[in-house]
Amino acid sequence: MTRKKAGRAPGWSWRRGRVTALLGLLAAVLLLFPGLVPNTPGRVGSLLETFLPWLGLAVPVLLVPALLRRSLLATAVLLLPAVVWSALFGGLLFTGDRAPGTTFTVVQHNVSDVNPEPSGTARALAATGAGLIALEELTAPALPAFEAALAADYPHHATRGTVGLWSKYPLTGVRLVDIRPKGVGEGWDRGLRAAARTPKGEVAVYVAHLPSVRIGPATGLTSGRRDESAALLGEAIAAEPLDRVILLGDLNSTLDDRGLEPVSSLMGSPGPGFAFSWPAKLPVARIDQVLTRSATVSRLRTLPATGSDHLPIAADIRL
């Protein structure tokens, strides 16, 4: 009886793994040029941009078949999305310590309109010692709890509708910023503007809560009202007479989303740190933002969870 010789495992080859290599190349292209993906139908482009950093997971996922097939081609090509992701997002992995020259810290938090512990949330935010605290989804029943808990450390505050600003510095020029999309009636007030008299001079502070988006299998990403509201907010900031501006708000998307371009194009870098803020139990995106004009966000980070479905974020500001 003749015994068959055991076949040797195939060696590494440049000819295998072409599909894996093609997928890796596609991931690199999408990371570099997400704008190539159209926004119709279903605003797929905005959906990709909202979760763009997670596209980097394509590298370890595709590396498995590349190694199993011993494909030199696929392994080499996967270096492309790895390098692109590192260039785009690698710096966000490190937030560092409080930066020298920091003027003050600000906190942004969507406190949730069904927050079961508004007083506890307010005390946690006050304990940060931030110079400014911006809140969204403030309900009439919860407002007195926030006012009482923050009064001692924040003698200056203003609210318009469901957004509010608490400040250690005097506030002047407080007014409503109308960011209502078409078809939304009176009483939908989600924007305010105030001038804060900081140690480095006056700064215009905007607090905004843009409309929510929905994701469904049939409709994709429904963000039309959010985009329209972002355009109105951008117009207000563009017309702001003060040079230095701080925007704090729940913008209901990440800054890579083209729908926020009317706002993000007017502001500076968001600063280092991913600071994923939503959902609180398993954060996958930062839809709560701190943006500045003629000022610098030197550090950005999330704070411990409160009774909200969002995490608070804190930013160090240098004027």
Residue type, 49: E
Contact (CB, 8 A) for 50 and 257: yes
Domain extents for the chain? 18-93, 104-318
Count of beta carbons in the 10 Å neighbourhood of residue 209:
24
Structure tokens at 98: 């409080």
pLDDT digits (tens, 9 = 90+) for 61-101: 999 999 999 999 999 999 999 999 999 998 888 766 666 67
Contact (CB, 8 A) for 180 and 230: no
pLDDT digits (tens, 9 = 90+) for 117-155: 999 999 999 999 999 999 999 999 999 999 999 999 999
Three-state DSSP state, 185: coil
pLDDT digits (tens, 9 = 90+) for 272-300: 889 999 999 999 999 999 999 999 999 99
Residue type, 283: P
pLDDT reading at 176 higher than 80: yes
Average pLDDT, the chain: 92
Fold of 104-318: Deoxyribonuclease I; Chain A (3.60.10)
pLDDT digits (tens, 9 = 90+) for 214-237: 766 655 567 889 999 999 999 999
Q: For a pLDDT cut of 90, what percent of the chain falls above it?
A: 81
For position 9, what pLDDT does the model report?
55
For position 43, what pLDDT does the model report?
82
Q: How confident is the model at residue 164 (pLDDT cuts 50, 70, 90)?
A: very high
- Burial level of 100, CB count in 10 A (0-12/13-18/19+)? exposed
Which own/partner contact pairs does 40-47 have at CB distance under 8 Å and 24+ positions apart? 41/220, 42/219, 42/220, 42/221, 43/220, 43/221, 43/222, 43/223, 43/259, 44/220, 44/221, 45/258, 46/221, 46/223, 46/253, 46/257, 46/258, 46/259, 47/215, 47/220, 47/221
For position 149, what pLDDT does the model report?
97
More confident residue, 45 or 305: 305
